[in-house]
Amino acid sequence: MKLEQWRNAWQQLIGPGSPFEVVTPPDSSPRYFRHACANLLEAIDAGRVHGEREFLIWEQQRLTFADFFDQVDRLAGQLSQRFGVKQGDRVAIAMRNQPAWLVAFVAVQRCGAVCVPLNSWGLRDELFHGLQDSGAQVLVCDQQRLQLLADDLLGERLLSIVVGAQAGLMLASNCQRFETLVEAPALALPAISIGPDDPALILYTSGTTSRAKGVLSSHRAICQALTALEFQSAFCAVSSPERIQAVIDSGLAPTNLMAVPLFHVSGLHAQFLLALRSGRRLLLMYKWDVDKAFDLIRDERCTQFNGAPVMMQQLLGSPRFDSADSDSLYGLGLGGALASSRLLAQISKRKPKAIGGSGYGLTESNGIGAAVGGDQFVYKPDSVGWPLPIVDVCIGPDPKSPLPVGHSGLIWLRSSTLMNAYWRLPQASAETLQDGWLDTGDIGMLDDEGFLYITDRAKDLINRAGEKISASEVESCICEMPGVIEAAAFALEDEELGERMVLVLRSEQHPAPTQEQVCAFIGQRLAAYKVPADVHTRREPLPRNASGKLIKAQLKDLLITI
């Protein structure tokens, strides 16, 4: 039986003496990988062995691993000697995906400083909040982000490094050009000693409602997370050998097309840092565009694409997906948001030999929770897989009151990958981290084979006259209707019912489906109380944050003001 084979393979990978050996401490603290790197700099430096192999491709730039690390070392020297960056200082990055982002991140780690990636999709307020809240000493940014912050930076004691500044552009006295710094003679770096529990990263959560919180993580947490991701790749290889063999037989160099932002864990950890360590080629997209994506896949023979469900939906919906333009794609991964059943089914149907996959994790867990790929993904595509070997999952109102298998409830995670705290927010930290367990705010269940399912966000449960309605269930249902591209269900106050459900959907069909048609479609598939009270149709994309999650607050505000 496949299930038993998978379990045996899993146990062999984490057993004593194996590269992914898992240690269970006697004091009941979280399990950990024995052979994970002690700090992030050690994990990163493993990529130096790849030398002259091609690493980064972006627009007209092509960098080998040696080229990349040469720029890293030069920038790190400048940060240390000219900018005075010391161990523990915060350095912010605010730019769209490009090689300079990656160079800056690693250079910050070489100084022993704490990197603060900021949301480059954000406007002035969000960027400035991150700078002020983190107390960053240096900002590495592109010209567009510099212009957004220009007035604010005048009054700040903040040094800026500008990437791609136009020729002839006059920069303020506290600004330096990135290109000048990485072409300057290399400067010596002082010796540093980085401990596993030293701070490494502050990632701001891509919130959909309230102001973003800084998630502070240690070197230990990130290194454990990277090893967990590498474990999942190894487990997928041994549990889906025929799919892996097809990739090997193709003779193509492992190449990732990366369109998700680097300031999110799925871009930073699961794509950039894994590619750096494993020697994979990485194609960076400055901004997502489905036709540009197919051009890159075709021309550079990309073998892997991981993206948010909305990106994958556009990829599968293009006529180019079934053409020779996608022949090189052997891996398709989902993350960042819940995917509809139709989208999950399409991946296996349209690319039956591909290595499909998805996972579950949060910024607060460094992207680690559960994962599924290859044959397991085909077996249970609606699940996010087995919890990874250093992760404990509890379903229930609190970790001391677990619900039986098959019951849905609040998901709690415990892992050696969890954040230290929210930066300078002790109350919020105490509410989210309770006795070593993370309150994820997500609703889900474990089945009798140990697979985890994510069913909703706790705040996305709609209480209609005492009946709890899962917004994601309604959204998934209506996305099965022909012509519906995406949908958002949420609650508005109702004097009689307490809350009524509103559904906003996007359709390019002409004429668009009417409210009666939408309600009839849902009513034939779900209970009557799950039929929305109001339906609104629009042609433009629904608002989403950088990780692909719907920003329902914007839709609510729009409807309230109408």
Q: Do both 526 and 449 map to the same domain? A: no
The pLDDT value given to residue 208: 47
Q: Do both 310 and 343 map to the same domain? A: yes
Q: Give residue 508's domain range.
A: 465-561
Dihedral of alpha carbons 250, 252, 256, 257, sign = negative
The pLDDT value given to residue 499: 86
Residues of the chain with pLDDT under 70: 1, 154-156, 206-210, 560-562
CATH code of 135's domain: 3.40.50.980
CATH code of 14's domain: 3.40.50.12780
Q: Do both 172 and 273 map to the same domain? A: no
Domain final residue, candidates 423, 456, 489: 456
The pLDDT value given to residue 45: 98
Q: Do both 74 and 147 map to the same domain? A: yes
Q: Do both 201 and 127 map to the same domain? A: yes
Per-residue pLDDT reduced to its tens digit, 261-287: 999 999 999 999 999 999 999 999 998
Q: Do both 255 and 151 map to the same domain? A: no
Q: Do both 258 and 372 map to the same domain? A: yes
Cα→Cα distances 303→97, 257, 343, 354, 374, Å: 20, 8, 20, 10, 14
Per-residue pLDDT reduced to its tens digit, 83-138: 999 999 999 999 999 999 999 999 999 999 999 999 888 778 889 999 999 999 99
pTM, two decimal places: 0.88
Q: Do both 353 and 287 map to the same domain? A: yes
Q: Do both 70 and 202 map to the same domain? A: yes
Please give the Cα distance from 413 to 393 (Å, whole number). 5
Q: Do both 126 and 179 map to the same domain? A: yes
H or E element in which residue 250 lies: helix 241-250
Domain final residue, candidates 456, 473, 506: 456
Domain final residue, candidates 182, 212, 242: 212
- Count how many domains the chain has: 3
The most distant pair of C-alpha atoms in the chain lies apart, rounded to whole Å, by: 72
Q: Do both 362 and 499 map to the same domain? A: no
- 3-state DSSP of 351-403: CCCCEEEEEECCHHHCCCCEEEECHHHHHCCCCCEEECCCEEEEECCCCCCCC
User: 477 is written with which tokens?
Assistant: 């249902």
Neighbours of 242 (CB within 10 A): 9
Query: In 3-state terms, the chain is what percent helix, strand and coil (to 5)?
Result: 40, 25, 35
Neighbours of 143 (CB within 10 A): 15
